[in-house]
Structure 1
Amino acid sequence: MADSGRPDTSSEAGRRSFIHILNAKLPRKRNIAQGLLRNEDGEVLLCELAYKSEWDLPGGVVDPKESPAACVVREISEELGVSLGIQGLLAVNWLPPWRGWDDAVLFLYDLGVVPRSFTDDLTLLPREIKAVHWVAPHELGDHVAPYTARMVEQLLDGDDTAYTMYFENSEVPGA
């Protein structure tokens, strides 16, 4: 230990010790990765979840040392039994604490447009997904958490921008 009470970071062991202390004390945010998948009619794919009342976009919580992009691809493969690529990052959304969860950062990826029949051959993971549904954008609020409805509504109502949207609690900061 250096005189300041901090580990001596001039060595690799000291540097790792200091990082361990920081990791134990600094806040950690939960990261969520989800995908926006639409059909040719503009409807959005929602998953009816086995563990909560709100439906949600496909995806899930990012595992430690996993990128958000890898997470959404993995979650879709595990939970829907299909391989989908991502076409880009649509939005980053900071979410305040909600229903007992700490705050989180949500990464929303564009999964493209598929035929309505895409859902016919999915293999759902029953402990996670009860069913999937195509839902018109104006009906999202009837099924998903309010922050999801606001975020997707703003994305679909906005101009086709060439950049990723940034939200805080599904609203554009300062707007």
Structure 2
Amino acid sequence: MPSAGQDSDEPLYERDPQAWHRYLAEGNRRQARKRVSVEVLIHDASGRILLVDPSYKPDWDIPGGMVEANEPPIRAAQRELAEELGLTVPIGRLLCIDWSAPHGPWDDLLTFVFEGGPLTSEEASSLRFVDGELISAEFCDYAEARRRLRDYVWRRTSSALEAKKVGTTVHTHNGARI
């Protein structure tokens, strides 16, 4: 990629490392920025799903939250569980990556859904609302989870549950398998 007016066959990154860095920085500045969130599927010993009731929105949700700038999604999952529920558990494998289309004031979003495994009775009874973002948490059977979650969140969750069952990872759009 020679710069304008340069006739060299030598690549720009070898000929002018500073110009190459500026070129990459400009490309980075112009590329799309995605919002990224994480969810962690957590069960109790009976197989019920842990749902949380956030204080800042009307709907129940799966534990998780937004990934911070330059934070790996798996680390965000660990951080969100600790911040919101006082929970430190191993984060399992990636079950689902969901793309949500722009809606309302929001740009598009990528959600990484991780397996959180079952909680022991002791872990489940030790859940506490640490940062004030949650007002309630309950383990729900699938029918109750479907009733409480927004449609696209339930579609994503059920796709992740199926991926867990068959040992794969799925890619969804607005919660629907593609």
Runs of 4+ aligned structure 1 residues displaced above 6 Å come to none
- Written as runs of structure 1 = structure 2, the 5 A alignment for 1:58-77 is 58-77=63-82
Farther off after superposition, 14-23 or 48-57: 14-23
Question: Runs of 5+ in structure 2 lacking a partner?
Answer: 6-11
Greater Rg over alpha carbons, structure: 2
Query: After superposition, what is the alpha-carbon deviation per residue over 1:152-172, rounded to whole angstroms, capped at 9, x for unaligned?
Result: 223335682222111111112
Say whether 1:43 aligns with 2:38: no
Say whether 1:53 aligns with 2:54: no
Match among 5, 11, 19 for residue 14 of structure 1: 19
Question: Runs of 5+ in structure 1 lacking a partner?
Answer: none
Aligned-CA RMSD value? 2.1
**Amino acid of the residue matched to residue 4 of structure 2?**
D
Match among 93, 112, 129 for residue 117 of structure 2: 112
Farther off after superposition, 149-158 or 51-60: 149-158
Could you tell me how far apart the structure 2 residues matched to 1:2 and 1:105 are?
A: 35
Could you tell me how far apart the structure 1 residues matched to 2:162 and 2:30 are?
A: 41
* TM-score, normalised with respect to structure 2: 0.85
Q: Which residue pairs with 1:155 in the alignment?
A: 160
CA contact (8 A) 1:50 1:126 kept: no
- Written as runs of structure 1 = structure 2, the 5 A alignment for 1:82-121 is 82-116=87-121, 118-121=123-126
SS at match of 1:166: strand
Distance 1:158 1:67, change over 3 A: closer
- Counting aligned pairs with the same residue, the percent is 25
Paired residues, number: 170
Give how far 1:16 is off.
2.6
